[in-house]
Structure 1
Amino acid sequence: MSTTATMLGHQEREVLHAVGCGLRDDEIAADLAIPEDAVAGHLARILARLGLRDRAAAIVHAFDCGLVVPGRGPRTRTASPSPSPVAARTPAVPTVRISVLGPLRAWRDGRPLNLGHLRQQSVLAALALGGGRTVSRQELLDAVWGMEPPLTNVVPVYIYRLRKTLRLGDSPDSVIEHDRCGYRLAPGAVHVDVARMEELLTEVGRAHRAGEATEVVRLSSQALELFRGEPLAGLPGPLAELERLRLAERRVAVMQRKVEWQLRLGRHLEAIDELFALSAAYPLNEPVAAMLMRALHRSGRRTDALTVFARARRRLADDLGVAPSRMLRRTYEVIRQGDHHPSAADFPAVDRW
Structure 2
Amino acid sequence: MPTTTVVRCDRGVTDLTAEERRVLYALGCGLRDSEIADVLALPEGAVAERLGQVLGKLGLRDRAAAIVHAFDCGLVVPGQGPRGPVAGSTAGHGPGTAPGARLEVSLLGPLHTMLAGRPVDVGPVRQQAVLAALALCRNRSVSRRQLLESVWGRQMPDGNVVPVYVYRLRKVLRLGERPDSVIRRDRYGYGLVQGVAEVDALRMEELVVRAGEAERAGDLLEAVRLGARALELFRGEPLAGLPGPFAEAERLRLAQRRVALAQRKADWELRLGRRMEAISGLSALALEEPLNESVAATLMSALRCDGRRAEALAVFERTARSLTDDLGVAPGEVLLRARRAALRGEDVDTGRPGRAGAA
In 2: Cα distance, 1:107 partner to 1:170 partner? 18
Alignment of 1:74-85 (within 5 A): none
Partner of residue 253 from structure 1, selected from 260, 265, 273: 260
Q: What secondary structure sits across from 2:113 in the alignment?
A: strand
Q: TM-score of the superposition, structure 2-length normalised? A: 0.69
Partner of residue 218 from structure 2, selected from 186, 211, 214: 211
Aligned to 2:113: 106
Q: What secondary structure sits across from 1:218 in the alignment?
A: helix
Aligned to 2:318: 311
Aligned to 1:233: 240
In 2: Cα distance, 1:237 partner to 1:93 partner? 31
Q: Post-superposition shift, 1:211?
A: 2.9
Q: Post-superposition shift, 1:259?
A: 0.5
Aligned to 1:284: 291
Alignment of 1:47-86 (within 5 A): none
Q: Post-superposition shift, 1:349?
A: 4.3
- Deviation beyond 4 Å, 4+ runs, structure 1: 169-173
Alignment of 1:159-238 (within 5 A): 159-169=166-176, 172-238=179-245
Q: Post-superposition shift, 1:350?
A: 3.1
**CA offset digits 1:55-108 (Å, max 9, x no partner):** xxxxxxxxxxxxxxxxxxxxxxxxxxxxxxxxxxxx942111111111111111
**CA offset digits 1:278-297 (Å, max 9, x no partner):** 11111111111011112222
In 2: Cα distance, 1:318 partner to 1:349 partner? 23
- Give the CA RMSD over aligned residues: 1.6
In 2: Cα distance, 1:323 partner to 1:208 partner? 35
In 2: Cα distance, 1:230 partner to 1:315 partner? 22
2:215 counterpart letter in structure 1: H
Q: Post-superposition shift, 1:173?
A: 4.3
- Is residue 137 of structure 2 the alignment partner of residue 130 of structure 1? yes
- Is residue 300 of structure 2 the alignment partner of residue 293 of structure 1? yes
Q: What secondary structure sits across from 2:319 in the alignment?
A: helix
1:136 counterpart letter in structure 2: S
1:206 counterpart letter in structure 2: E
Aligned to 1:350: 351
Aligned to 1:271: 278
Contact kept? 2:269, 2:277, Cα under 8 Å: yes
Q: What secondary structure sits across from 1:98 in the alignment?
A: strand
**Larger Rg computed on CA atoms:** 1
1:292 counterpart letter in structure 2: L
Q: What secondary structure sits across from 1:160 in the alignment?
A: helix
Q: Post-superposition shift, 1:317?
A: 1.9
Q: What secondary structure sits across from 1:184 in the alignment?
A: strand
Q: Post-superposition shift, 1:331?
A: 1.6
Q: Post-superposition shift, 1:304?
A: 1.0
Q: Post-superposition shift, 1:138?
A: 0.2
2:223 counterpart letter in structure 1: V
Structure 2 gaps of 5+ residues are: 1-97, 354-358
**CA offset digits 1:217-239 (Å, max 9, x no partner):** 11110111111111110011111
Structure 1 gaps of 5+ residues are: 1-90
In 1: Cα distance, 2:176 partner to 2:350 partner? 51
Contact kept? 1:96, 1:168, Cα under 8 Å: no
In 2: Cα distance, 1:185 partner to 1:309 partner? 47
Say if 1:266 and 1:181 are closer, same or farther in 2 by CA, change over 3 A: same
**CA offset digits 1:201-251 (Å, max 9, x no partner):** 111221222232112111110111111111110011111111100100011
Q: What secondary structure sits across from 1:177 in the alignment?
A: strand
The aligned length equals 257
In 2: Cα distance, 1:325 partner to 1:119 partner? 39
Alignment of 1:314-333 (within 5 A): 314-333=321-340
Contact kept? 1:176, 1:186, Cα under 8 Å: yes
Partner of residue 309 from structure 2, selected from 302, 305, 314: 302
2:325 counterpart letter in structure 1: D
1:181 counterpart letter in structure 2: Y
**CA offset digits 1:280-330 (Å, max 9, x no partner):** 111111111011112222223221111001111111222223222222212
